[in-house]
Structure 1
Amino acid sequence: RVRDALSREEMPALEILEGAVLLVTGVMLLLPGFITDAIGFILLIPPIRRALLVYFLQHSGILQRQPPFRQPEQNKENTRVIEGEFRQVDDD
């Protein structure tokens, strides 16, 4: 999935984070305890895992609303260009 996202020229952030969550899930399943096992099994379900990641990314401010390589908007007053020709006229 990371390669597919890169071939579409998109950032594979969600896919990379899913891999990290799966790593944490594996550690939680290895730890003893009912609560860690329950959280680990819940995070193994792909729709729940993806929904939690999207929720976390939206509320943490990590997701950007604009493309990452877009130039910032400049002041509209200073972007006016006037084209034309000129010649110098002597006062003689």
Structure 2
Amino acid sequence: MFAKLFLTMVSVSLLEIYVLIKVGGFLGAWPTVALVVITAFVGSALVRSQGLQVLQQLQQRIARGESPGQQLIEGFMLLVTGVLLVTPGFVTDFVGLLILQPGIRSKAAKFLLANVKLNSTISGGFYQSSAGSPFGDDLKPKKDDKNIIEGEFERKDDDKR
């Protein structure tokens, strides 16, 4: 996993450098820098406005008692888009602007919602998952463990006694 992530990051960085050099050779250094700054500024403003729209849709779905799964995924996609747009370069800006298109983002969110399965729950303060605990299986409580005592507690300050 680390090797794939590393290879992806290095490849994207090299591609960005290559495109920046090509565009800089065509337009010149200062217009290229200005274009990168302008795309970051405009992209940030667009991400903010669309993020507020997604948040409003999320609140409406929750108020109607519907599952807000698609809006949550779209919100995460907008977060990633914001990072892509403020990252200097034209390739990441292009990908970010693609995700900013509501139709593309909506279709991608529906695809992810239909094809990605998450099986994690939080219960009793312990992480439980069908895929196993990220902390190791020995830290996951067993359902038949007789040493678990459920209860409530109240913390009292020493100076109030």
Summarize the alignment of residues 52-91 of structure 1 with structure 2, pairs less than 5 Å apart.
Answer: 52-61=108-117
- Alignment-mate amino acid for residue 18 of structure 1: E
Unaligned runs of 5+ in 1: 63-92
Kindly tell me the number of residue pairs found equivalent between the two proteins: 62
Shift of 1:37: 0.7
Partner of 1:22: 78
Quote the offset at 1:38 in angstroms.
Answer: 0.7
Distance in 2, matches of 1:60 and 1:2, equals 20
| Secondary structure at the counterpart of residue 11 of structure 1 | coil
Whose Rg is larger?
1
User: 2:60 — aligned with what?
Assistant: 4
* TM-score scaled by length of structure 2: 0.36
Q: 1:22-70: CA deviations, max 9, x gaps?
A: 11101100112222111000011101001011112212235xxxxxxxx
**What's 1:46 paired with?**
102
Letter paired with 2:62: L
Where in structure 1 do 4 or more consecutive aligned residues deviate above 3 Å?
A: none
Deviation at 1:21, TM superposition (A): 1.0
Q: Distance in 2 between matches of 1:13 and 1:28?
A: 23
Distance 1:12 1:57 in 2: 11
Q: CA RMSD in A?
A: 1.3
- 1:81 aligned partner: none
Identity, in percent, stands at 37
2:69, 2:113 within 8 Å by CA — same for their partners in 1? no
Unaligned runs of 5+ in 2: 1-56, 119-161
TM-score (norm 1): 0.60
SS of corresponding position for 1:22? helix
Matched, 1:36 2:89: no
